[in-house]
Amino acid sequence: MKIVVDAMGGDHAPYEIVKGAIEASGDIDGRIILVGQEDKVNKELEKYSYEEGKIEVVHASEIIGMDESPARALRKKKDSSIVVGSKLVKKGEADAFVSAGSTGAVMASALLKIGRIKGVARPAIATVFPTLKGETLVLDAGANVDSKPEHMVQHALMAHIYASELLGKKNPKLGLLSVGEEEKKGNELTKEVHKILKKIEDINFVGNAEGRDIFTGEFDIILCDGFVGNVVLKTTEGLADALFKIIKREIKANWLGKLGGLLLKPAFKRVAKKMDYTEYGGAPLLGIDGVTIISHGSSNAKAIKNAIKNAQKAIDADLINLTKANIGGRNDG
């Protein structure tokens, strides 16, 4: 098993990326290929002791910036770490690709260089959200801002496979994100998707979910279009950050708050860990014909380590072939 890691992708590349790869190398049963500017990657590797057979470096001279147009960057920078990494998966020289680089560029490269699974119209970004009862898989988190009913139905089927095989959810309960629990609530897209999902026996569709249901844990999967999903994701990240800052400010406001904060410090640490995106590593891009994990642009070593471990889980679960068996050639609705 070989997992390609984009060593130049993200705000803290290459040092945090390389560090995360080193930490993951001792935990996975396979080899990690670091793709990027060889001199910079090797300079970082020199800081650590590791089993040399577990780490390989493949040179890529160019870097795609976060602010670049994905389509234009892929055309101009054919020797970028994102393109080279994707090609290694396409050629069968690696089993998975992990990147904290430009989400748009990673998605575009995955589509153009690796390709979609036959029968999949649009891929989807699946993000794990912490809840009161564990975790919920939310998708699409931004791969498609204009979705059609058939796209969302395919996303539901892929999410069912992922939640069952990788999150350990037995017969996962799927909810459709809408503006009310009633079947007739929602826009034309959600009402049409609801109608189709009701007819599919392969998934455990339990009806509409509202925004507040994302965090209760009553649903194992929450399905939405990419525009709504990305707004939900960014709003959640912003709210969590703001809440922690408000709590810290209030604790420091007076001596009583400081005393209470000291007593509650262990609890705060547990909550912070539960809400920490680095615990989940990255989001899988479902529907691509090769395991692809998109990590947060600000990923640190811990996030990269967990993203690599998630990639291994997907490979071990044979996610791609399971998806092919359940999606390829299917025509629901």
List pLDDT tens digits, range 13-40. 999 999 999 999 999 989 999 999 999 9
Q: Residue 166: pLDDT band by 50, 70, 90 thresholds? A: very high
User: What pLDDT was estimated at residue 253?
Assistant: 87
User: What pLDDT was estimated at residue 321?
Assistant: 94
What is the DSSP annotation of 205-269? Answer: EEEEE-GGGGGTSS-SEEE--HHHHHHHHHHHHHHHHHHHHHHHHHHTTSHHHHHHHHHHHHHHH
Contacts of 26 by beta carbon, 8 Å cutoff, 6+ apart: 50, 51, 54
- Cβ 218 vs Cβ 210: under 8 Å: no
Q: Mean pLDDT over all residues of the chain?
A: 92
- Cβ 292 vs Cβ 117: under 8 Å: no
User: What pLDDT was estimated at residue 313?
Assistant: 95
User: What pLDDT was estimated at residue 232?
Assistant: 94
Is residue 57 helix, strand or coil?
strand
User: What pLDDT was estimated at residue 100?
Assistant: 96
User: What pLDDT was estimated at residue 61?
Assistant: 97
Is residue 332 helix, strand or coil?
coil
H-state helical runs in the chain? 15-25, 38-45, 70-76, 81-90, 103-109, 149-165, 188-197, 226-251, 255-275, 301-316, 319-327
Interatomic CA distance for residues 32 and 9, integer angstroms: 15
Residue 77 has pLDDT above 90, yes or no: yes
Tokens of 279: 């615990």
Residue 237 has pLDDT above 90, yes or no: no
User: What pLDDT was estimated at residue 105?
Assistant: 95
Own/partner pairs for 41-48, CB < 8 Å, 24+ apart? 41/7, 41/14, 44/14, 44/15, 44/18, 44/19, 45/18, 48/18, 48/19, 48/22
Mean pLDDT of 242-251: 88
- 4 membership: H or E segment, kind and range: strand 2-6
- Cβ 225 vs Cβ 140: under 8 Å: yes
Residue 287: φ, ψ to 5°: 105, -10
pLDDT in tens, 172-214: 999 999 999 998 899 999 999 999 999 999 899 999 999 999 9
User: What pLDDT was estimated at residue 328?
Assistant: 62
- The CA–CA distances, whole Å, from 163 to 6, 65, 158, 329 equal 26, 32, 9, 22
Signed CA dihedral, 173, 179, 185, 188: sign only: negative
Give the relative orientation of helices 301-316 and 319-327 as an angle to the nearest 10 degrees: 50
Residue 154 has pLDDT above 60, yes or no: yes
The answer, as to whether pTM is greater than 0.75, is: yes
pLDDT in tens, 276-312: 777 888 999 999 999 999 999 999 999 999 999 999 9
Contacts of 199 by beta carbon, 8 Å cutoff, 6+ apart: 332, 333
